[in-house]
Homo-oligomer: A and B are copies of this chain.
């Protein structure tokens, strides 16, 4: 069988095909057409040599089709028949279209820019349990971004100290607080103690303010341990769990989701940048939505972490839009944010957003409580379209924050 039969340039993908968009830089001396055929083979029915065990029937049914090649840009499209995939299984999807193809000697550089899925495949997943609507309902907030806060220092506070800090930040304006991604069950801050202290602090803050407050407890661990921790959060009265989705892996996330704890799943993406050089965050965020994350970190544009404006807008647009029957995901902006950036941030990314402040709250000259007030003030101003400087005239904490973080 001639190898070039993977080439179906100009052919329309079937309605049920999964289509991958890739950018390829071939290795020296290799032409693009050769690369992309090898990719189509390796990711469907082929291998590096002709084999006796592959017949025409199998090839016609299961071979990937190269439907587009742009010699100038190196961008190609490959359409995969849906029969190549096990429904509802992200690791199988990932191993197929984003697996061995990255290891081939003939390719110098390869990035998966996007993957599109037919509804019949999307709908084989649970997706988020709460989604944006459920998340907003849990916070009781309709028309502005959620004001979030990250406990800082990342690590080092005891359970009692964390509870105290959480109370201070909640009562002064934060809607949401999260554990740091590196904080799990630590000697200096045992998981169960922390949950107990924080749930107490949360309930107290809710009573005082009359508003809903949510804390995301980082349950990242081996899957079974994650489940134990999720059950403990539920039992103790928590409403949200956090998972380091990339470092735990999506098999764990899918499993936690399918257990239906009735807890919002907050997805932190620590470590993703070591991967999303080669598979775009847009494609990875599709995996996360399938897996059932309710709130996902996607970039800040204006903060300390990478991610271009175009890229983050595109991801957030995907997460908040319609996709088969599965619910939309609330995007989270987190990393290097402070009140002085809120106006710009909301202008770029809109109101369907959790805005997380860490140093931007705890670094306030008057401490974390004042920081939380300033953060909320900045988000209120931004949501009403009032400039921060104008709003700061009547809001002392914001005024101080703007002055301090400008330095």
* A363: Cβ under 8 A from any B Cβ: yes
Residue of B nearest to A52 (CB): B367
B52 touching A103 by the CB < 8 A rule? Answer: no
B405 touching A49 by the CB < 8 A rule? Answer: yes
B residues near A182, Cβ cutoff 8 Å: 43, 84, 92, 95-96, 99
A99 touching B305 by the CB < 8 A rule? Answer: no
Copies of this subunit: 2
* A344: Cβ under 8 A from any B Cβ: no
Whole-angstrom distance between the Cβ of A372 and the nearest chain B Cβ: 12
Interface segment among A128-136, A170-178, A204-212, A246-254: the answer is A246-254
Contact of A91 among B84, B220, B255, B335 (CB under 8 A): B220
* A105: Cβ under 8 A from any B Cβ: yes
Residue of B nearest to A252 (CB): B251
Chain A: residues with Cβ within 8 Å of the partner, total of 91
B306 touching A103 by the CB < 8 A rule? Answer: yes
* A154: Cβ under 8 A from any B Cβ: yes
Besides A83-B188, A103-B305, 14 more A-B contacts (Cβ < 8 Å) are: A44-B155, A51-B153, A52-B363, A52-B364, A86-B186, A92-B247, A99-B244, A103-B272, A104-B304, A104-B306, A105-B306, A223-B254, A248-B251, A249-B250
Selected A-B contacts with CB under 8 Å, 23 pairs = A45-B155, A47-B154, A51-B152, A51-B363, A58-B157, A86-B185, A88-B222, A89-B220, A90-B222, A91-B221, A95-B182, A95-B247, A95-B271, A96-B182, A99-B247, A100-B271, A103-B305, A104-B305, A222-B254, A223-B223, A224-B255, A247-B250, A249-B250
* Residues in A lying within 8 Å of B, measured CB to CB: 43-54, 58-59, 61-62, 83-84, 86, 88-92, 94-96, 98-100, 102-105, 152-157, 165, 181-182, 184-188, 220-226, 244, 247-252, 254-255, 258, 268, 270-275, 277-279, 304-307, 335-336, 338, 358-360, 362-364, 367-368, 405
